[in-house]
Amino acid sequence: MTDPVSPFKGKTGLVRVMNAAGYSWAGLTAAFRHEDAFRQEVLLMVLLLPLAVYLGDNGIERALMIASLLLVLIVELLNSAVEAAVDRVSLERHPLIKRAKDMGSAAVMISLVNVLMVWSLVLLG
């Protein structure tokens, strides 16, 4: 038996890189257009990013503060992807659907707590 292969696979080299960049841009655009939480977190990033550059005493501190902000966006994108996939399968109330969505929400919350912890440790020593 052969391994199932996606018909969307097979591009290589620069074509693959260009396609991937387009898909990534489409994903960011969709998240910004359809996800209120993502827009709020982008606003948080826009406000805090200059502060991270200004308040960090060195490259390591700045990198930690900025990375913690980027992590929130990454986790939110993954949470939104899980929610979209689950909603595509079924909109009915089901304990497993609730669990998946709650776990995604918990991951976002933990990433936000991470921002608070990193920034507190960096700024308060």
Q: Is residue 79 packed enough to be buried (19+ CB in 10 Å), middle (13-18) or exposed (0-12)?
A: buried
pLDDT of residue 1: 61
CA distance 85 to 104: 12
How many whole angstroms separate alpha carbon 109 and alpha carbon 116? 11
Of 122, 123, 24, which is closest to residue 32 (Cα–Cα)? 24
pLDDT of residue 6: 72
Residue 26 is encoded by which pair of tokens? 């489409």
Enumerate residues 6+ apart whose C-beta is below 8 A from 65. 48, 52, 55, 56, 118, 119, 122
For 4-34, write each residue's pLDDT tens digit: 777 667 678 888 999 999 999 999 999 999 9
For residue range 46-62, what is the model confidence (pLDDT) as tens digits?
Answer: 999 999 999 999 999 99
For residue range 63-108, list pLDDT tens digits in order: 999 999 999 999 999 999 999 999 999 889 999 999 999 999 999 9
- Which position among 35, 76, 83, 92 bears the catalytic label? 76
Active site (annotated) includes residue 61: no
Q: Count how many Cα atoms sit within 13 Å of the Cα of residue 44 in the half-sphere of its side chain.
A: 18
Domains, the chain, ranges and CATH?
Answer: 36-124 (1.10.287.3610)
What's the confidence (pLDDT) of residue 11? Answer: 75
Given a contact cutoff of 8 angstroms between Cβ atoms, the answer to whether 37 and 108 are in contact is yes
